Amino acid sequence: MALGEITYAPKYRPATNKDGYGLLGKAGWRWVELFMQSRGIAQYWLYQPLEVIEARLAARGDDFVQVEDLREILAQYEIAEQVSMIRKKIQPPADSLDKVSAIAKLIVNDAEKAAACTKDLAKFPHYIGAYNPSVLLVGDRHNATKRYGKETNLPFMPVDGNSAEYLLNSLPEGEWKNVGIVNINDSSNWLDFADLVKTLGKPKIVALGRLAEKTLSKVIDLEKYVVLPHPQFVRRFANDTQQEYGEAIIRLAKIKDKEDKWILR
């Protein structure tokens, strides 16, 4: 599970922990979280205070984690909770199993609700993100490479500092969880684009680059979206504007300012 990258990499694999997100990196973490959200996957944190965990670990032993490491690991779990899409933090009684059945039922019922929210997204396997995003980012097509291109046609998979990594890292911390992403020119995605938009609750739409816009303009009214540069262009020619670019995506999806320097149309 992705949570392990934030919680254990800083302590046990510091060489892989360049930005606090372990092997995945921040962009990879965000991509996995968006993918899981679009598939109706629910995450829960079964929590106990530090002293309870220390006592249990001391009693049973562990081949990997030492008691003295737990404070640091638990602090990392607190960070993971803030940056992930964990639905609930659940704390069962530490000294009794009486509530286990009720807690299990709560988790199952809540997980079923999460799955039900994304039921209609099953017909759009090329989409990742929230089931009711505030912003839908529309790209061109995935970049087929030997590393990851043949295995998936999912949009903007971050690998080796590519434009997807640039894009996902650019999105503001308080906004990225409410984003949806699709590539309109992969396969025949353009054919069901209008249906996807309707299923998502008609979010604001941002076309990323001219190639995405070219197809988008054929399937949706021009006034219903805004066009910004593709992240590949920004990464190559204005790399130091990453934060500004991400903020512009969110801002201009909500308010179309024709004078804004980021808008292409």
Chain Cα centroid distance, residue 243:
17
Distances (CA, A) of 13 to 19, 23, 74, 134: 12, 9, 16, 36
Task: Using CB atoms within 10 Å of the CB of residue 211, give its burial: 0 to 12 exposed, 13 to 18 middle, 19+ buried.
Answer: middle
Q: Which domains does the chain have, with CATH numbers?
A: 3-38+41-117 (3.40.50.300), 120-254 (3.40.470.10)
- The predicted model gives 102-119 an average pLDDT of 96
pLDDT in tens, 249-258: 999 998 877 7
pLDDT in tens, 118-176: 999 999 999 999 999 999 999 999 876 665 555 668 999 998 889 999 999 999 998 99
pLDDT in tens, 19-32: 999 999 999 999 99
Cβ-contact 175, 107 below 8 angstroms = no
The pTM (predicted TM-score) of the whole model is: 0.92
